[in-house]
Amino acid sequence: MLIDGDRLKVVNAPIARTKLGSATGQDVTFLQIALAAEVAARTAADAALSASIAAETAARAAADAALAADIATEAAARIAADNALDSDISDETAARIAAVSAEEAARIAADGVLTSDLAQEVLDRIAADTVLTNDLATETSERIAADNAIIAGIVRGTVAIGNAATSGSVTGLALAYTPASVSATVISPVGGLTLFASLEGDPTTDGFDFLVGPVATDSADYKLAYILKQ
């Protein structure tokens, strides 16, 4: 058996299978040294591995703690932002509800005023229409009365003038008043003369006198139409 550096190499299999008791003291020493070196190397590697694992575990724990802190910070920030947003939404909703309520109250009040004004306007118009209707009725009654008075104060009539007449009289009227005016017209027969009548003197309650001209009538078919006004 040969020792190549720190590594034990078996060069003769039959010898490796020989009982330990048949090995020389030098071989045992080399084997012990090699095993000790291998144990030391494995121990050192295991220690390094343990240190690396511990360092990685510590790093991962620190990273996880930092991530958890970041997550907690972000969650707290989001919760605060959400709460602020909810508060702003609640405030805006309350403000909009208040504005709508105020507008509704204003519109209701305005509608009430408008309704009251319209009702008063209707009453005013009804009263004015009633006054106007009464005034129209009064005016109509007065006009009718005046017209009736005018009609009552007008007397119409026709009398024969006679042949060769240049004047005449209308009597027996028995008027309740003395006429203020007299209108007289000569009605000529077909083919007759064109004659005119005029008042002679003042009219009385009994009648009036008239003149015919410019010439006398040439037949008994002429008539005088008159109108007396009070």
211, 186 contact by CB (below 8 A): no
Which of 2-11, 21-30, 70-79, 143-152 is predicted least confidently? 2-11
pLDDT tens sequence across 165-196: 999 999 999 999 999 999 999 999 999 999 99
Which domains does the chain possess? Answer: 154-229 (2.60.40)
In whole angstroms, give the CA distance from residue 106 to residue 82. Answer: 35
Predicted local distance difference test score (pLDDT) of residue 144: 85
Mean pLDDT of the chain: 88
Token readout for 5 is: 């550096």
Tell me the average pLDDT across 58-87.
94
Which of 9-13, 93-97, 147-151 is predicted least confidently? 9-13
Neighbours of 66 (CB within 10 A): 10
**Phi and psi, residue 84, nearest 5°:** -65, -40
The side-by-side arrangement of strands in the sheet containing 167-170 is 167-170, 208-213, 196-200
Predicted local distance difference test score (pLDDT) of residue 24: 73
Predicted local distance difference test score (pLDDT) of residue 14: 44
Predicted local distance difference test score (pLDDT) of residue 223: 98
Strand partners, 118: none
Torsion of CA 100, 106, 111, 117, to 10 degrees: -170
Residues shown for the chain? 230
161, 144 contact by CB (below 8 A): no
In whole angstroms, give the CA distance from residue 198 to residue 186. Answer: 10
In whole angstroms, give the CA distance from residue 36 to residue 42. Answer: 10
- Angstrom CA distances, 143 to 135, 138, 148, 179, stand at 12, 8, 8, 22
> Hey, what amino acid is at 162?
G
pLDDT tens sequence across 190-223: 999 999 999 999 999 999 999 999 999 999 999 9
Contacts of 18 (CB under 8 A, 6+ apart): none
Rounded to two decimals, the pTM is: 0.38
pLDDT tens sequence across 131-140: 999 999 989 8
- Give the burial class of 124: count Cβ atoms within 10 A of its Cβ; 0-12 exposed, 13-18 middle, 19 or more buried: exposed
